Amino acid sequence: MSDHTHDHPHPKQPDIEDAPFTRFQVMTEALAELLIEKDVVSADEFRAQLERMDAKSPADGARMVARAWVDPAFKERMLADVNAAAEELGLDAGHIPIRCVENTADVHNVIVCTLCSCYPRLLIGLPPDWYKSRAYRARTVKEPRAVLAEFGTEIADDVEVRVHDSTADLRYMVLPLRPAGTDGMGEADLAALVTRDSMIGVSRAKPAG
């Protein structure tokens, strides 16, 4: 279910599938039914779009990160407008604005959606179950360093941790810090170091080698 190793515990959480629908989930279901009833979209078109989203992986986001690591001009455009930068690479990031936040030696960013599970699915793939859990949504805001430590990501005291709350109107993705020892690596090899979790911010990119 995750790109990181499992020799550490994840935040305790209730069974997500058995949890009652949130207000926003109920609204989403109602809107989908209304669009089909009014013939704005057909049930087949709606199903096809869901299948397209479900088939997405973190590969497109990883490709963008790798390009940003080797192309400073592209990185600036990506930080300014992820959706437009994705189009440059022939990628579809969707119509909802996505903001990219850069990890540096002094700042570590992590993404959460405190209301539900808003997430840049077209670039990173389906959100993991822990991202949707009440535990992650609540604790990441209150004690981000403790949550990161449970994912095996220890953040030094002199590094600032910034938590970004995704919404229905604005999504976030993290530009991970480029691993040391990757000078001279091509984009494809660099992209292989970028994981879903590193683009959420709960882990770092894989080390070289």
Query: What is the spatial distance between Cα 19 and Cα 16, in angstroms, rounded to a whole number?
Result: 5
Residue numbers annotated as active site: 113, 116-118
**What distances in angstroms separate CA 68 from CA 15, 47, 91, 127, 129, one per listed residue?**
37, 34, 15, 23, 28
Closest CA to 200 of 137, 157, 156, 143: 137
CB 167 within 8 Å of CB 112: no
**Token pair for 115:** 């209301």
Q: Which two tokens stand for residue 17?
A: 């599938």
Residue 183, token pair as written in the block: 């000078």
Under 8 Å between Cβ of 134 and 145: no
Contacts of 104 by beta carbon, 8 Å cutoff, 6+ apart:
177
